[in-house]
Every structure is written in C-alpha cells, then in structure tokens.
Amino acid sequence: MRDYGPILDVIRRHDRFLLTSHLFPDGDGIGSALVLAGALRRLGKDVRIWMPSPSPARYAFLDPAAEIRHWQSGMRGSELADRQVLFVLDCSAWDRLDGFGKMLEPLSLVRVCIDHHKSASSFADVALLDVTAPATAEMVYEMMIETAGVELDFTMAQAVYAALVTETGGFQYSNTSARVLHLAARMLEHGVSADRVNIELNQRNPAHHIRFLARALQTLELGAAGKMAWVAVGPDVFRETGASAEDTVTLAGYPRSVDGVELALMFFEDFPNSVKISFRSKSWLDVSELARQFGGGGHERAAGALLRMPLAEAVQRVTTAGAAALAAKPEA
C-alpha cells in the first residue's frame, strides 16, 4: 500500500511548484508531469514544467498549451527562484537532470521524488519509489485523483493513457497488469482515443527516421550463442540520415525481437565519446543490474546508461558483461 500522505502534506503547505523529469523525457516523464500539473492547478496551485532537454516531437499532442519548457545552457536559476517545491518525476537520480539539475542546486526547494525505477539515490526530501508500479503517471493518478479526489480532465486522462502505452510497450510487456488495463479503459471512457494516441506516438515518423532504421539495423550482431543481439550506431549514421537521438527510441526493440535472444542492446554515439546504451531483456534477465555496472539503471526489462568513451570500447565492455550475465543464469 503506497503512503501518499507525506507528499500530499507538502502539496497542502505550499503554493508554487516546479515539475521536471529526466534528460530526454519520455511518455511517462512528460505524462506524469502533465497529470500532476493539471491536478495541482485544480487545487489552486501555481505550476511550471521545465525539462532538462527538449521533449520529443511525438509527445507534443499531449501538451496543446505548449506549457512545457526546457533548460538551455546559459540559463540562470533566478527565473525559478520563486518556486517552493520541486517534483522530480520518473527519475530518482539527480545526475539525470544534467545541466538543469546543476542550475537548480543553489535554489531553496523542497525536493519531492516520485518514481518506479530501481535507484539508490537520496536527493529528495520526500520520496515515493515503487518498482512494481507500471508507470510513474499511474502513481500520480492514484495519488491525486483516487486519493486526493481531484477531478480528472481530458488532458490529464490522455497523459495517463500515453504514459501507460509508453511504459508497457503498447500493452505488450510483463508489466501489463489487470490494473493497467482497467485504468486504460477508464481513460478511454473519459474520451481518450486509442487510435489517435497510437497515430501520434507511432505513425508520424519522418522519412529520415526510416532511413536511419535501415542503416542502424545493418549493424546488427549476435553473441552469447544467439542469446544476445545488439546494434551500434556512430555519428556518421546520424549525420548522413539527418537523424537525432529521438530516432533511436524504438531501435532496441528490433534486436530483442530476434528469436532466441534474451538480451538486446542498442548503442548510439551521437557526439564523440558519448555513448548512450539501451538494455532490454525478454523474459528473465534483470537488465537494471547490468546497467548499474555502467552507472545507469532502470527496470528489470528495460534500462539505460551513458558511457564517456569511444563507441567500439563501449560495445566491447558492455557485450562482455552481458555475456557474463547470461552465462550466470540460475538453474530452474
């Protein structure tokens, strides 16, 4: 049973809030921020949403008022000095706020964290972490709508639904519980269109995205007797196709789909010596533990990390560790 009392007490005692999520925010980070912002405003609170980096274009439909802003190098914290409370959503590691986090550090803010990732972080004054939750937006919904009794509106409902779609892989992953499906149905009853959300999230790819996938998938390799697959994309592919980090969002799903593969890895180096890695598993391997070896983290079936080294070195180190993790599978 989640105890929302301490966070609701913070909300009752303050009026000016700042909401954020992790670098390269996804549907859950953005969705949970929009749900919480809508609920706080219904309680008469003053709310701003700032992200550490631009929100991917595929999520723009969730924010019709374009209220989400993003940090840019050179910005000063004085613009946010009147904020009293900082909510960090879908993220429990301060370094994942990147430069935005450094700008916020001097500010006198009550720090609140709501997340469903495994983490040993302790930056928050008040935290609610639940690795069994399907999405952070589900936790925010339960806290503000089901517990605090705030009335749900369409924008909030659509944000909840999009977050559930994002975190469950379109209701395909093992975290697709009866609770998830009941909650999704409730959002549809509130006017959300499953068709529109699918189109916005999955069917508005620019042509360069398809060209990027074609190039990236040519790098597919297998290891660990066919139990591990990976793709590795260097700066040249981004440059030649006009792609960006946003175009890598679905890439890790392709090596995971290979028959017999348990561990899928996606490496991309969009800037020299800055390699982002996505870890995915199919049925039993806890990739959050593997990612943690490289300073990252996440969920049992999906995690990420960032390595400051050349692409080839990152691939060698991570695939070696991945093969060892696969070899260590306990006997059934």
Tokens of 19: 């909401």
pTM of this structure:
0.91
At 331 the three-state DSSP class reads coil
Q: Report CA 126 to chain centroid distance, whole Å.
A: 21
Q: What is the pLDDT of residue 331?
A: 58
Residue 200 reports pLDDT greater than 90 = yes
Domain 5-202 -> CATH class:
alpha beta
> Sign of torsion, CA 229 216 29 196?
negative
Residue 282 reports pLDDT greater than 90 = yes
Burial class from Cβ neighbours inside 10 Å (0-12, 13-18, 19+) for residue 252 reads: buried
Domain range summary for the chain, segments of one domain joined by +: 5-202, 207-327
| Beta-carbon count within 10 A of 188 CB | 13
Q: What is the pLDDT of residue 329?
A: 79
Tokens of 269: 């180096």
pLDDT, tens only, 108-150: 999 999 999 877 567 999 999 999 999 999 999 999 999 999 9
Amino acid occupying residue 303: A
The average pLDDT across 190-202 equals 98
**β partners of residue 230:** 221, 265
Asked which of 8-17, 62-71, 132-141, 294-303 is least confident by mean pLDDT, the reply is 294-303
At 107 the three-state DSSP class reads coil
Q: What CATH number is given for 207-327 in this structure?
A: 3.10.310.30
| Contact partners, residue 170, CB within 8 Å, separation at least 6 | 198, 202
Contact 243, 233 (CB under 8 A): no
Instruction: Please report where in the chains the tokens 């980070």 appear, as a residue.
Output: 29
Contact 116, 175 (CB under 8 A): no
Residue 249 reports pLDDT greater than 70 = yes
Contact 147, 41 (CB under 8 A): no
Average pLDDT, the chain: 95
